[in-house]
Structure 1
């Protein structure tokens, strides 16, 4: 079915007015699986094959050093950004990954434009960059918690679109995944963090503050996805109530993206036959 089967199925819905129909941007049932495996065991089998293809393509990307890939992971707390990095992005050689986790801006970062710290974290040639949260925090948290006036965060949609257009024009493939979970599943995952001693370090009391604003965040995500989705820098809504499906879907999106780059190994800048002769002499 070509290289875009999963991306087509998970691409954010187009042509909607998020101000009046925010719930239609993505399903209110994150356990609906529009494409792909229907069981954990089948997903695991497919992930083996996908991993082999991803590994080969990532090596070609790294060797050629003519393209970059930026994978943006956004989602509510417990949606699985870290797990996605471990299980989907972990299928490739870690030498070719540049992972950056965005926390609350520091004082130094706040003295600059909101995109300043993002530019400093971009992947280099031949690398796959992964953002655990991103510049989208500045139209999500900044909006919901009223950290800046409305006219400021609304203008940021335009700034983000211009920034991502600049990235794609310079050879960076931008892929954005919204890890979509239900409030019921988030509750289960937060409870698990408190009930399992090896998981308590992941729990943050502030997560409940964000959870209390669930509807506000869903509206903020809906508008951000519609306002900043483009063919050059698309958004994909990844159902993430099932961790195995989330990992499968992101790995497939990444695979289809790399396949589209039509990668090839660089031609050697030396005489291969002569070097073989030298080795055998």
Structure 2
């Protein structure tokens, strides 16, 4: 199987999404990819166990992508071997009335991982500079003092939001949160095919909404917004990775391997036993072994 490195997908300079492929050829079968993914899952579960015991870092995985990009199934397949106590998935939808009473980052801040654990954001704080940039009228729901009309939602407003996001991520990174952000890069044609399958397969009909077609008409606007996000917020402490997502199995493998590659840069270790306990391990063992 072709060797894929996390650095191959990392945003380290200004990019144009139209120049980045949504599909790459991996010269192997789907069965082989699943076996390789299984090996990575097992390695990740061991890293998770050490990180949990080490108890100094948390990991934040951010997933973004157009509708049908495969976020839900990716989460299911990549984190399948994780200890359930160590990973929490947050699916952020339209802000609730309570969430709107706080700043736009509040609901994300309180969902950050505890030390030793993973948080997976299925859609993220970037929705606020994505959905609201395509539909700026939604900003009015936030009741911001400086915003009296849509005329106030200008470029300065968006730049301030990007600055807030960058500051937020830098702050949490400095306090032990390892951040990895993945954009599942899907082609418009592949999205069309996936929406058709939702309509043609009865058990998947429930996933379809007429709103999907309305949002699809805004494809170019969304792509421009994503490109802006990737270029303005990919930092060394919080990098973006653009993952070709037209093939779900390949996308899952790349994301899993990228997470493993990035975490292998850290030295997670099990805590040392106190000297008194270490010196008496044989005695404790003999005592337990002699019990009837």
The TM-score, its normalising length taken from structure 1, stands at: 0.90
Aligned counterpart, 2:23: 31
Aligned-residue offset at 1:278: 2.4
CA contact (8 A) 1:138 1:153 kept: no
Aligned-residue offset at 1:85: 0.3
C-alpha distance 277-241 of structure 1, shift in aligned 2 (>3 A)? same
Q: 1:75 and 2:68 equivalent?
A: no
C-alpha distance 170-274 of structure 1, shift in aligned 2 (>3 A)? farther
C-alpha distance 225-38 of structure 1, shift in aligned 2 (>3 A)? farther
Residue from 99, 105, 128 that aligns with 1:138 = 128
Residue from 199, 219, 240 that aligns with 1:194 = 199
User: Using the alignment, how far apart are the partners of 1:63 and 1:173 within structure 2?
Assistant: 16
The list of structure 1 runs, each at least 4 consecutive aligned residues, that deviate by more than 4 angstroms after superposition, is none
Q: 1:242 and 2:247 equivalent?
A: yes
Unaligned runs of 5+ in 2: 140-152
Aligned-residue offset at 1:204: 2.2
CA contact (8 A) 1:37 1:43 kept: no
Q: 1:10 and 2:9 equivalent?
A: yes
Unaligned runs of 5+ in 1: 17-21
Q: Deviations over 1:219-253 (max 9, x none)?
A: 00000011000111000000000011011011101
CA contact (8 A) 1:139 1:154 kept: no
Q: What SS does the corresponding residue of 2:220 show, helix, strand or coil? A: helix
The TM-score, its normalising length taken from structure 2, stands at: 0.87
Aligned-residue offset at 1:98: 1.0
Q: Deviations over 1:11-55 (max 9, x none)?
A: 125045xxxxx445x51x30135xx65542331121122122111
Q: 1:109 and 2:99 equivalent?
A: yes
Q: 1:275 and 2:265 equivalent?
A: no
Q: What SS does the corresponding residue of 2:254 show, helix, strand or coil? A: helix
Computed over aligned residues only, the root mean square deviation of the Cα atoms, in angstroms, reads 1.8
Aligned-residue offset at 1:84: 0.8
User: Using the alignment, how far apart are the partners of 1:37 and 1:114 within structure 2?
Assistant: 43
User: Using the alignment, how far apart are the partners of 1:275 and 1:168 within structure 2?
Assistant: 41
For 1:1-281, what aligned pairs fall within 5 Å after superposition?
Answer: 6-15=5-14, 22-23=16-17, 27=20, 29-33=21-25, 38-146=28-136, 147-148=138-139, 149-150=153-154, 151-269=156-274, 270-271=277-278, 272-281=281-290
Aligned counterpart, 1:19: none
Give the number of equivalent residue pairs: 269
